[in-house]
Amino acid sequence: MPTYRDMTYRDILTQTCELLEPFAKGRRLEEETDLLTHVGLDSLQAMEVLLAAEGRFDMSIPLNVLAEVRTVGDLAEQLQQLIERR
């Protein structure tokens, strides 16, 4: 049975877009989409996204990762690293 560890970066990117969709207000989400300036994600919404991602991937996401995240792709990359670290 495939596990989260088997997911490719592309799989995680797709799932990241799904997680962000409720906050995107219809805006198109792509790898380079800036979460702050384009999606307009505020600090509370960022926490909600992390909670949703934690639920989906069944892992805790340290807040420290946010410092490295600017785009949808950055977030997917951080999630991938955490999944691989488990």
Partner 1 sequence: MLDNLRAVATARRALLDEGVSPFGTVVEKVISATEGVIDGRRTILAGTNNYLGLTFDPVCIEAACAALREEGTGTTGSRMANGTFAAHAALERELAAFFRRREAIVFSTGYLANLGMLSALTGRDDVILIDADCHASIYDGCRLGTAEIIRFRHNNVEDLDTRLKRLGERSTRALIVVEGIYSMLGDRAPLVSIADLKHQYGAYLLVDEAHSFGVLGAHGRGLAEEAGVEEAVDFVVGTFSKSLGTIGGFSASDHPELDSLRYASRPYLFTASPSPSVVASARAALALLQARPELRKRLWENAHHLYGRLSALGFSLGPEASPIVAVMMKSPEDGLVFWRSLLAQGVYVNLVVPPAAPNGGSLLRCSVGAAHTPEQIERIAGAFAALR
Q: Which residues of this protein are in contact with partner 1, per CB under 8 A?
A: 42-44, 47, 50-51, 59-64
User: Nearest distance from residue 42's CB to partner 1, in Å?
Assistant: 7
User: Nearest distance from residue 77's CB to partner 1, in Å?
Assistant: 18
Q: What is the DSSP string of the chain?
A: ---GGG--HHHHHHHHHHHHGGGSTT----TT-BTTTTS---HHHHHHHHHHHHHHHTS---GGGGGG-SBHHHHHHHHHHHHHH-
User: Nearest distance from residue 40's CB to partner 1, in Å?
Assistant: 11
| Cβ nearer to partner 1, comparing 35 with 50 | 50
